[in-house]
Amino acid sequence: MFETLSDRLTSVFSSLRSKGRLSDADIDATCREIRIALLEADVALPVVRDFVSHVRERARGTEVSQALNPAQQVVKIVNDELVTILGGETRRLRFAKNPPTVIMLAGLQGAGKTTLAGKLALWLREQGHAPLLVAADLQRPNAVQQLQVVGERAGVAVHAPEPGNGVGDPVQVARGSVEQARRLQHDIVIIDTAGRLGIDQELMKQAADIRDAVQPDEVLFVVDAMIGQDAVTTAQAFMEGVGFDGVVLTKLDGDARGGAALSVRHITGRPIMFASTGEKLEDFDAFHPDRMASRILDMGDILTLIEQAQRTFDEQEAARMAGKLVSGDGFTLDDFLEQMMMVRKMGPIKNLLGMMPGMGQMRDQLNQVDERDLDRVAAIIRSMTPGERAEPKLINGSRRARIARGSGVTVTEVANLVVRFFEAQKMMRQMAGGMGIPGMPGGRK
Ligand code: GDP
Task: Identify which of 105, 113, 114, 115 to mutate to test ligand 1's pocket (most ligand atoms within 8 A of the CB).
Answer: 115
The CATH code of the domain that includes 306 is: 1.10.260.30
Beta strands at 101-106 and 188-193: parallel, antiparallel or unpaired = parallel
Residue 296 inside a domain? The answer is: no
278 and 178 both lie in a single domain = yes
Q: Are 223 and 206 in contact (CB under 8 A)?
A: no
Is the Cβ atom of 118 under 6 angstroms away from ligand 1? Answer: no
pLDDT in tens, 29-39: 999 999 999 99
What 3-state class would DSSP assign to 275? Answer: strand
385 is in an annotated binding site: no
Protein residue with least CA distance to atom 26, ligand 1: 278
**Given pLDDT bands bounded at 50, 70 and 90, which one contains residue 399?**
very high
- Bridge partners of residue 410, in order along the sequence: none
Q: Are 250 and 222 in contact (CB under 8 A)?
A: yes
Residue 94 inside a domain? The answer is: no
Give yes or no for residue 100 having a pLDDT over 90.
yes
Instruction: Count up the domains in the chain and report the number.
Output: 3
Residues 6+ apart with CB under 8 A from 57: none
168 and 276 both lie in a single domain = yes
183 and 257 both lie in a single domain = yes
Residue 51 inside a domain? The answer is: yes
Give yes or no for residue 166 having a pLDDT over 60.
no
**Burial of 72: CB neighbours in 10 Å, binned 0-12, 13-18, 19+:** buried
pLDDT in tens, 246-255: 999 999 888 6
Burial 377-405 (b: 16+ CB within 10 A, else e): bbebbebbeeebbeebeebeeebbebbbe
Give yes or no for residue 315 having a pLDDT over 90.
no
Pick the last residue of a domain from 263, 288, 313. Answer: 288
141 and 178 both lie in a single domain = yes
Ligand 1 atom nearest to CA at 140: 2
Lowest-pLDDT range, 259-273, 359-373, 400-414? 359-373
122 and 265 both lie in a single domain = yes
The CATH code of the domain that includes 7 is: 1.20.120.140
283 and 152 both lie in a single domain = yes
Is the Cβ atom of 227 under 6 angstroms away from ligand 1? Answer: no
107 is in an annotated binding site: yes
Q: For the residues 48-63, what does the mean pLDDT come to?
A: 88
Residue 174 inside a domain? The answer is: yes
- Bridge partners of residue 218, in order along the sequence: 103
Residue 70 inside a domain? The answer is: yes
pLDDT in tens, 266-281: 889 999 999 998 899 9
Lowest-pLDDT range, 317-331, 353-367, 398-412? 353-367
248 and 375 both lie in a single domain = no
The answer to ipTM > 0.90 is yes
pLDDT of residue 338: 75
Domain range enclosing 258: 101-288
Ligand 1 atom nearest to CA at 284: 23
304 is in an annotated binding site: no
Task: Identify which of 252, 276, 279, 283 to mutate to test ligand 1's pocket (most ligand atoms within 8 A of the CB).
Answer: 279
268 and 134 both lie in a single domain = yes
109 is in an annotated binding site: yes
pLDDT of residue 55: 93
Is the Cβ atom of 253 under 6 angstroms away from ligand 1? Answer: yes
168 and 283 both lie in a single domain = yes
253 is in an annotated binding site: yes
| Range list of H helices, 43-169 | 45-61, 70-85, 113-126, 143-154
252 is in an annotated binding site: yes
Percent of the chain having pLDDT more than 70? Answer: 77
pLDDT of residue 184: 94
33 and 169 both lie in a single domain = no
Residues 6+ apart with CB under 8 A from 444: 433
Residue 95 inside a domain? The answer is: no
The CATH code of the domain that includes 250 is: 3.40.50.300
169 and 73 both lie in a single domain = no
Q: Which residue has the higher pLDDT, 226 or 199?
A: 226
How big is the chain by its Cα radius of gyration, in Å?
A: 30
136 and 249 both lie in a single domain = yes
User: Using alpha carbons only, what angle is made at residue 176 by residues 171 and 181, rounded to the nearest 5 degrees?
Assistant: 130
Q: Report DSSP state, residue 284.
A: E
Q: How many angstroms separate the alpha carbon of residue 42 from the centre of ligand 1?
A: 21
Give yes or no for residue 121 having a pLDDT over 90.
yes
Averaged pLDDT of the chain: 82
Residue 92 inside a domain? The answer is: no
Q: How many angstroms separate the alpha carbon of residue 368 from the centre of ligand 1?
A: 44
Protein residue with least CA distance to atom 12, ligand 1: 112
Residue 294 inside a domain? The answer is: no
Is the Cβ atom of 193 under 6 angstroms away from ligand 1? Answer: no
